[in-house]
A and B are shown apart, each in its own frame.
Chain A
Amino acid sequence: DAGVIQSPRHEVTEMGQEVTLRCKPISGHDYLFWYRQTMMRGLELLIYFNNNVPIDDSGMPEDRFSAKMPNASFSTLKIQPSEPRDSAVYFCASSYLGGTEAFFGQGTRLTVV
């Protein structure tokens, strides 16, 4: 397996634009996590899915953020409209069981100008 695949690796967008981040988890993993990493706050869990169902989205900062997992092999994190304070590295991770070893993607570095 190629591991968790995220795209794009880098995204620069203007304030107000819609941004969509994509993630392909490892095949067979039932859990998928979206994290945001900033210098100030470190790694923060935004939302996670179990068997494609959102379980906990309490970390999603605002209604501007939404995430979907239409099938076991694909998830998106969307920000609409984007703001400069959304600039961060967004990581997707998957695991076979919750709370067990998580495998992280390479991250998407988002810059909103």
Chain B
Amino acid sequence: KNEVEQSPQNLTAQEGEFITINCSYSVGISALHWLQQHPGGGIVSLFMLSSGKKKHGRLIATINIQEKHSSLHITASHPRDSAVYICAVTPKVYTDKLIFGTGTRLQVFP
């Protein structure tokens, strides 16, 4: 079993829809990261959070430490949001490294 699990693996949506991507982890963490990877492109860090909620534009990330769960929400989705979204955690045990989920591929159609 992977230490970081994401769901769904693939997601399609119509422009304007509200989107939720989930991440569950099984290790104690000091931080959780959400990353975005566009087709053929590099990887960009969207959020790093250790508690509560963070918002940036139409993106919202939440984390529940007790339940070991995080969600990434996209409001009013747009085709340019189409990308792979990757959840990663910084474990408490070895705090230098990230453990990655396998990613959620999102396609938003006009």
Residues of A participating in the B interface, judged by any CB pair closer than 8 Å? 31, 33, 42-45, 48, 50, 55-56, 91, 93, 98-107
- Contact for B102 among A31, A42, A93, CB less than 8 A: A42
Write out the residue numbers on chain A whose beta carbons fall within 8 Å of the beta carbon of B35. 104
- Contact for A102 among B30, B98, B101, CB less than 8 A: B98
Interface SS of chain B: strand
- The A-contacting residues of B in range 21-68, CB under 8 angstroms, are 30-31, 33, 35, 41-45, 48
Given contacts A45-B97, A50-B96, contact A100 B48 (CB under 8 A): yes
Given contacts A99-B90, A101-B48, A105-B42, contact A43 B100 (CB under 8 A): yes
Cβ–Cβ contact B96 & A55, under 8 A: yes
Given contacts A42-B102, A43-B86, A99-B90, contact A104 B44 (CB under 8 A): yes
Given contacts A99-B31, A100-B48, A101-B48, contact A45 B98 (CB under 8 A): yes
Q: Report the separation of the CA atoms of residues A29 and B93 in the bound assembly, to the nearest whole angstrom.
A: 22
